[in-house]
A and B are shown apart, each in its own frame.
Chain A
C-alpha cells in the first residue's frame, strides 16, 4: 500500500455534506466548469496532474450483494481525487496558498470544513478525511506531469520537423534545427528519480529492495 508511485502521489478525500448543501455545491461546480477563469490558479499549479470533485449520493455507493451489510448513510459525500507531484505538504500548501477562495467555495459547508486558511486546521481536516491508497500504479515513475507534457511536445515537434525538413538544404536544415531547439529549450531537461520526500517512504523502499534481493 502506498500513496506514492515514482514521482506521483495519489490523494482521495471523502467529506460528508448535507443534502441542501449539495445543491449549492453542484451550482458552484457547474459555474466553475462554465467559467474556466475561476480555475486559472489551479491550472497554473503545474505539480497537479488533475484534480476532480464528485458528489456522491448515498445510493451511489456500491452494494455488491446481500452479504454486504446495508449502510444507513445520513449525508451525501464529496469525493476529491487528485494525482500530483511532490509531497503531501507541498500539494496541500500550494492549494491553500494559491486558491484559498476556490477551495472554500468548493467545500463551502461540508461537515466540519475549517476553511483553507489557517493552514494547520486545514491539514488536520484533510488528513482526517483522506482515504489511503491501496493500489497505485505509475507507468512513468521518473516523469512528472511537466515532464510528460514536455515529452509530448518534443515528440510532436520532432515529427513535424522531420517532415518539414525532408527535402531541406543543409543550410536551411541547420536554420530550422536551431529554431526548433530554441522553441524546445524549456522541454529538454533531464528526468531522474524523485527526491526523497519522506524518510519513512524511503526506508520502506530500502526494506523492499533488500527483500527483493534476498538480503535480511
Chain B
C-alpha cells in the first residue's frame, strides 16, 4: 500500500548526485577521490567533517542558488565496516554490494581485457590488510578553480583525521599514480555549439536522456521520452509516466508497490541508494579505423554506420526518428541554432515554442514505428540499454496496459563525465574514456541485469550472443582487434 506522501521525496536528505545530472547545471569538471579508513574513529570524524559540504537534492530554483561546486560521498561495504557500522545493518545489504564488483566480474562480463587486473592500480593489491577503497568523494564544479578549492577543503579534513588516507593509483595523463580521477566534459567544436548533450571520445553526443522519477523535482515536461512508456502517444505527456522513486532510492515504493530491500534501521538507509562506479576506456583508434574501413562499404558511409551502432547520429539525433543523415543534420542545425538563442535569452516566444517542440524529438520515441529495427537496429546501444516499448517487438496488444513491462524495472540513473583527452584519436592507448556512475536501488535487477543481459548478451533482443557494439566486451584477437558482431 502506498500513500500520496510516498510521492514526495525528502530531497534535503537525498544526495544531489542522485537527483541531478550535474552537467545539465553547468558543471563540466569533476574529480573523483578515493579514501581508505584505517581508524574507524577518524573515519567517522571525516564523515562528520565533510557532511556540511555534501550537496543535497534540493531543487535549485534559480541560477543564483546553484553552488560553484557540488560534493557527494559514497561508501563501499568494507568502508561501512571500517566505520564500525553495526553488523545487523551490514547484513541487510545485498550480496552484490557486499561482494563488490571485482567478485562479480563473471556476472557483469568484466573478463578478458576488462578483467580487474587491467583496472587502475588503485583497485589492485586488495587484501584484508592491504589497500582497500572505502570512500568515494565526487566533486563537480563550474570550473577547475572551483573544483580545486573544494578538493583542498576536503583534504584539509585529513589533517585532523590521519586515520583516513587518500588513495593514489588512478591512471591518467601518462601517470599510473594520480591522487584523484580527473574528468571533464569535452568542449564542443565551434561548429557543434548548441548541440544537445556533451561529447564523449567516440564523437557521440552523450547524456541526452536521463530517467525521470516521481518526486525528482524536474520540469514535468521532461517525463516525455525519459521515463516509462504508458498507453498514449509517445510524443506527448500522455505517452509517459514517471518511474517510481523506489526503483532508484531506498525508502520509497517501487514499481511493484514495495519498498526496496535495504539495510535497517530505516533511518540508516532511507534516502540512500547503490552507486556503481565504472571507468571505461575507449579505444578511439580502433573505433575510427573500423568506421573508416567498414563505412566505405556501408550505404550512408561511416557516419551512418556510427549511427547504427549507437541508435543516435553522432550529433545526437535519434535514428528511429531521423533515419537519414540529411534529416538528422537539418534537425540538429535548427535545434542548436535555437538552443543558442534560448541560452542567450534572445528567442522570441515563437522560437521558444519551436525549440521545445524540437527538443522533445530528441527523446520522445518508443520504437513503436520501427518494430523491425529498419531504422534503429535491435542491437544499437541506446535501444539496448533503454528499450522503451521495443521488447513488445511491434505487438501492440502485448502488455497493452504497460508497454514497458519488460524494461520499467531495469531503469537506472546515469551520472559521470568523460575523462582524459584523445589528442591522438588514431591510437587506443591514451588515457581517455568515460567515468560512468550508475544509481539504482537493486544492483542485481537493474545494473547487473542491464550490464549482463542487455550489454554483453542479446537474447532479449533475439540477437543470440551478440553484444552491445559500444560497451560490450568483444575481447581482443591476437592482432588486438575486437571480435564483436552486429547485424544492422
Which A residues fall within an 8 A CB radius of B? 7, 37, 40-41, 43-47, 85-86, 89-90, 93-94, 96-99, 117-120, 144, 146-147, 150, 185-186, 188-193, 195-197, 199, 202
B8: CB under 8 A from chain A? no
Residues of B within 8 A of A98 (CB): 398-399, 402, 405-406
Q: Interface residues of B, CB < 8 Å — how many?
A: 40
CB proximity to A under 8 Å, residues B432-467: 444-445, 449, 452-453, 456-460, 462-466
The complex places the Cα of A191 from the Cα of B458 at a distance, in Å, of 10
Please state if A94 and B107 are interface contacts (CB–CB under 8 Å): no
29 pairs, CB–CB < 8 Å, chain A vs chain B:
A40-B395, A40-B397, A41-B398, A44-B398, A46-B393, A46-B459, A47-B460, A89-B444, A89-B445, A94-B406, A97-B408, A98-B402, A98-B405, A117-B256, A117-B257, A119-B256, A146-B464, A150-B462, A186-B463, A186-B487, A189-B462, A189-B485, A190-B485, A192-B464, A193-B465, A197-B107, A199-B103, A199-B106, A202-B106
B104: CB under 8 A from chain A? yes
Please state if A195 and B104 are interface contacts (CB–CB under 8 Å): no
Shortest Cβ distance from B442 into A: residue? A89
The complex places the Cα of A44 from the Cα of B258 at a distance, in Å, of 26
Please state if A189 and B464 are interface contacts (CB–CB under 8 Å): yes
Shortest Cβ distance from A121 into B: residue? B258
Residues of A within 8 A of B258 (CB): 118-120
Please state if A186 and B462 are interface contacts (CB–CB under 8 Å): yes
Please state if B465 and A190 are interface contacts (CB–CB under 8 Å): yes
Shortest Cβ distance from A97 into B: residue? B405
- Minimum CB–CB distance for A85 against chain B, Å: 6
B59: CB under 8 A from chain A? no
- Minimum CB–CB distance for A163 against chain B, Å: 25
CB proximity to A under 8 Å, residues B385-437: 392-393, 395, 397-399, 402, 405-406, 408-409
The complex places the Cα of A94 from the Cα of B391 at a distance, in Å, of 11
Shortest Cβ distance from A144 into B: residue? B459
Q: Which of B444, B453, B465 contacts A192 (CB 8 A)?
A: B465
B109: CB under 8 A from chain A? yes
With A188-B487, A190-B465, A199-B107 as contacts: A86 and B459 at CB distance below 8 Å: yes
Residues of B within 8 A of A150 (CB): 462, 464
Residues of B within 8 A of A43 (CB): 398
The complex places the Cα of A96 from the Cα of B444 at a distance, in Å, of 17
Shortest Cβ distance from A46 into B: residue? B462
Q: Which 9 A/B pairs are nearest by Cβ-Cβ distance?
A: A192-B465, A189-B464, A44-B398, A119-B256, A196-B106, A189-B463, A98-B405, A118-B258, A97-B405
Please state if A47 and B459 are interface contacts (CB–CB under 8 Å): yes
With A40-B398, A41-B399, A196-B107 as contacts: A93 and B464 at CB distance below 8 Å: no
The complex places the Cα of A120 from the Cα of B409 at a distance, in Å, of 14
B378: CB under 8 A from chain A? yes
Residues of A within 8 A of B445 (CB): 89, 93
The complex places the Cα of A37 from the Cα of B107 at a distance, in Å, of 36
With A186-B373, A191-B465, A195-B453 as contacts: A93 and B409 at CB distance below 8 Å: yes
Residues of A within 8 A of B462 (CB): 46, 146, 150, 186, 189
- Minimum CB–CB distance for A97 against chain B, Å: 5
Please state if B487 and A189 are interface contacts (CB–CB under 8 Å): yes
Please state if A97 and B409 are interface contacts (CB–CB under 8 Å): yes
Q: Which of B406, B452, B466, B487 contacts A185 (CB 8 A)?
A: B487
The complex places the Cα of A188 from the Cα of B462 at a distance, in Å, of 10
Residues of B within 8 A of A119 (CB): 256, 258
Q: Binary interface profile of B, 4-31, with partner A (CB < 8 Å = 1, else 0)?
A: 0000000000000000000000000000
